[in-house]
Structure 1
Amino acid sequence: MKELRVAIRISIVIVSVPIVTFCCLGIQFYSLWQPTLDPYILTLLSVLGCMAFIVVAGTQILYNVFTASNHLKVNSLTFVAMGVVNIIIVYCGLKFYPQYNMYIIVGTSSVLAILRQLCVVLPYVSRLLGVSCTTFYKETFLTLICCAVNTIIALAILKVCTISGWLSFTIDVVLVGVLAVLSECFLLLNAEERKKIKQLISRRK
C-alpha cells in the first residue's frame, strides 16, 4: 500500500500537469496553430477527450494490481461492456441529436471511462488488497484538487502574460508547467517521495 500511494502521487504530478496545462491554454494554442478554425470548439473537444485522464491521473496505477494479483476477468469484462455501451450511446446520440455529433463521440467515452474507474476499478482493487472500498477515492480527490490548483495557476499567468505568438506561448507553457509541478510536489509529496522523483530524473539523465 505504501508503494502504491507513492506511485499514485508521482503519477498525479506526471500526468495531470501537461493535461491541465494543455486544456487551460488550448484556446491560445489553437488560435496560433489553426487560425482559420474556431479555437473554442477545438478546445472544448480537447477537454472532453482529456477529462477522463484528469480524474484517473493518479489511480491509473491501480490497473497493475489486476495483473500482479492475477485477477483480470472483472477488469477485462467491464472494459468490453463499456465499449458496447459506448457504441450504443453514440449511435443513439447521433441519431437523435446529430447537431452535437462531435461532442457526443468525444465525450461519451470519457464519461464512461470515469464511471468505470469510480464504480468498478477503485472498489474492486480495494477488495483485492483487503482495504476499505473508499481507500482510493481520497487519491482521486487529491487529483482533482491538484488539477484545480494548476488551473488557477494557468489562468493567473494568462492574466499577467499576454500571448502574442509562439514565443510568448512557449514561455507561458513553461511557467505554468514549472509552477504546477512545484505546487503539486509541495501538496502531495513528502521528503522521501520527492527524493524518489529526483532519483528517477537522475536515472533518465
Structure 2
Amino acid sequence: MPKSAGKQMSINIIASIVSFAVTVGINFFLTPYLVKEVGSDAYGFIGLANNFVQYATIVTTALNSISGRFISIAYHKGDVEKSSKIFSSVLVADLFLAAVMLILSSIFVCFLDTVLKIPSNLVSGVKITFAFAFLTFVVSTVTAIFTTAAFVKNRIDINSIRDIISNLIKVALIVLLFAIFPAQLYFVTLASFGSGIFLLLANITVKKKVLPEVKADIRKFDIKIVKTLLASGIWLSLAQLCQVLLSGLDLLICNLTLGTALMGLLSIAKTVPNSIGNLTVILGSVFTPHYTILYAKKKIPELIIEAKFSTKIVSFILSTPIAGFIAFGRQFYILWQPTKSPEEITMIQFMSVLTCITFLCSSQTQSLMMINTVCNKLRLPVFVNLTVGIVSVIVAIAACNLTDYGVYFVAGTSSVLMGLRALIFTPAYSAYILKQKLSIFFPTVIRDCVGFIIILVLFSIISNLITVTGWSSFIFICAICGILAYALSLPLLFNKAELCKLKNKLTKK
C-alpha cells in the first residue's frame, strides 16, 4: 500500500539523519586515528584527493543532477516511455563520460607531483590515494542515473539505507587494512573504492525493484534528449564550479601557498563542519521529490506551504547541533585531538567556526534552494555564486601572500559571503520564480535565525559556567543542553497551528 506523502517524508528525514549519524560516527573515531597513524600533513592529502574528485564531478553534474527532475516530471505525468528514453540516453552518456574521465585521471595521477607540493616520502602514497579516489568517482559515474529511481518514487530513505551500508563496509575495510598491513595513506580511498563497488551493485538492484517500468535500453538513446538535459544541466555544472571556487579550492590554496602543515590542520578543522554541511544538503534534498511532484501537478499554493514548513523543520533539526558545536567546540577538539598543542587547537576551532558560518545560514534556507532545480530556474543563482566564488578565491590568495592570517581568510571568506547569499538572495529568488511576493519567505527565515541566536547564547553561557573533565562529562552536558534546546526550539520556530500539525503527525505515527 503506498505511503502518504507526509509519512514518506518523515521516513526520508529519519533515514537521512541515521545515515548522517553513521557517517559522523565513522569520522569521529577514524579521523584522530588516521592523524595519529599517518600524520596531519599526510591526512590533508586525503581531503585534497576528495576535493579533486569534486572538481571532476563538474563534468558529470550537467547530466546527472538534472536528469532526476526530468524523469520524475515525465513519470508523474504518466509518460513512462519518455522517462525510459531519458533514462537510457543519460546511461549511455554516463558510460562515455566514465571512459573519458578514466583516461584523463590516469594521466593526471602520473604527473601529480609536478602539480602539487608533496613531501618526497609521501609521493607514491599520495599518487595511489588519488588513483583510488578517481576510480571510485568513475564507478559512481557509471551508475549515477540509477539513483534517480528512489528520487522519482520519493523513496530517499532507500538511498540513505544504501549509504549506511556502504559506510559500514568502508569502515570495516579500513579497520581490516590497518589491522593486517602497515599503515598506508591510501587505505582510506581504497576502502572507499570497495564501498563504491557495493554502491554500483546496490544502485542497479534498487532501480530494478523500485522503478521497473522505466527500462534501460541503449537502442532508445537520443542525442536530442542529452542536448536538452545539458542545456539545463550546464547551469548545475556551473553551480558545482561555484562550489569548487567557494570551498573546494581551500586545501589546494593551502598546499600551494602555506604548505602541507597548515593544509593538514585545515583539513581537520573542516571535518565536522563538512559533516554538518552534508546533512544540510541531505535534509534539503529530502523535500525535493515532493516539491517536484507538486510542481508537476501545478499545485503551487501547496508547494509554498510545504516550502515554509520544511524550512522550519530543517532549521529545527540543525540549529541545536550547530550552536552546540560553536559553543563547545574548543572542549570537543581538546578531547578529539589530544595530540595537538593548545595553539593548534585554537587554530582548528577558529577555522571550524569560520567554516560553519555558511552551513549555519544555509540550514535556514537549504530547502528553498531546491526550488531552483524543481522549477529549472538556475541561471541567476549560478551567476551570483560564480561572482561570490571568484571574489573569494582572489581574496584568499591575496591574503595568503600579503598577511600572516591567510589560512583564516581561506577558511572564512567564502563561508561568510555564501552565508549572506543564503539568507538574502535565496528566499527572495525562490519567491520570484514561484511568482510570489519577494518577502513571502523572509518572516520564516527571520524566525529561524532568532531561534538559533537564542540557543547559541544559552549554550555559550553554559559553556562558560561548566568544566569538561572528559568524554563522559562532555557527552552528558551536550545531551542535557540538546534536550533543553530542542524543547525550547519548538515554540520558537513553530506557531500554534504548526505545533498542532506536528503533534497530530507524531501521534498518528
What TM-score bracket applies, with the shorter chain setting the length? 0.7 to 0.9
Q: Partners in 2 of 1:199 and 1:62 — Cα distance?
A: 28
Displacement of 1:65 after TM fit? 0.8
1:191 equivalenced with 2:499 (yes/no) = yes
Q: 1:89-138 deviations in whole A, cap 9, x for unaligned?
A: 111222221x1011100101111202322443222112112222233332
Q: What amino acid maps onto 1:21 in structure 2?
A: G
Displacement of 1:196 after TM fit? 7.1
1:175 equivalenced with 2:486 (yes/no) = no
Q: What amino acid maps onto 1:168 in structure 2?
A: S
Displacement of 1:197 after TM fit? 6.9
Displacement of 1:7 after TM fit? 0.3
Displacement of 1:184 after TM fit? 0.8
Equivalent residue for 2:411, pick from 84, 95, 106: 106
Q: Contact 1:56 / 1:140 at 8 angstroms: preserved in 2?
A: no
> Unpaired runs of 5+ in structure 2?
1-303
Q: What residue number does 1:25 align with?
A: 328
Q: Partners in 1 of 2:409 and 2:461 — Cα distance?
A: 31
Q: Contact 2:327 / 2:456 at 8 angstroms: preserved in 1?
A: yes
Q: Contact 1:86 / 1:108 at 8 angstroms: preserved in 2?
A: yes
Q: 1:119-167 deviations in whole A, cap 9, x for unaligned?
A: 4322211211222223333233223212222123323433554311100
Equivalent residue for 2:384, pick from 70, 75, 78: 78
Q: 1:14-61 deviations in whole A, cap 9, x for unaligned?
A: 121111111110011112223432333322211100012222212111
Which portions of structure 1, spanning 4 or more consecutive aligned residues, are displaced by more than 6 angstroms?
none
Q: Contact 1:13 / 1:184 at 8 angstroms: preserved in 2?
A: yes
Q: Partners in 2 of 1:193 and 1:7 — Cα distance?
A: 13
SS at 1:57 equivalent: helix
1:89 equivalenced with 2:392 (yes/no) = no
Give the number of the structure whose alpha-carbon radius of gyration is greater: 2
Q: Contact 1:163 / 1:169 at 8 angstroms: preserved in 2?
A: yes
> Unpaired runs of 5+ in structure 1?
none
Q: What residue number does 2:360 align with?
A: 54
1:67 equivalenced with 2:373 (yes/no) = yes
Q: CA RMSD in A?
A: 2.2
- After TM superposition, the score normalised by the length of structure 2 is 0.37
Q: What amino acid maps onto 2:318 in structure 1?
A: V
Q: What amino acid maps onto 2:337 in structure 1?
A: Q
TM-aligned CA distance change 1:77 to 1:193, over 3 Å: farther
Q: Partners in 1 of 2:466 and 2:502 — Cα distance?
A: 30
SS at 2:395 equivalent: helix
Q: What amino acid maps onto 1:37 in structure 2?
A: S
Q: What residue number does 2:47 align with?
A: none
Q: What amino acid maps onto 1:82 in structure 2?
A: V
Identity within the alignment, %: 28
TM-aligned CA distance change 1:8 to 1:108, over 3 Å: same
Q: Contact 2:320 / 2:486 at 8 angstroms: preserved in 1?
A: yes
Q: Contact 2:351 / 2:411 at 8 angstroms: preserved in 1?
A: yes
- What is the 5 A alignment of 1:83-162? 83-97=389-403, 99-159=404-464, 161-162=466-467
Q: What residue number does 1:37 align with?
A: 341
- After TM superposition, the score normalised by the length of structure 1 is 0.86
TM-aligned CA distance change 1:100 to 1:50, over 3 Å: same
TM-aligned CA distance change 1:196 to 1:59, over 3 Å: farther
Equivalent residue for 1:9, pick from 286, 289, 312: 312
- Between the two proteins, the alignment pairs up a number of residues equal to 200
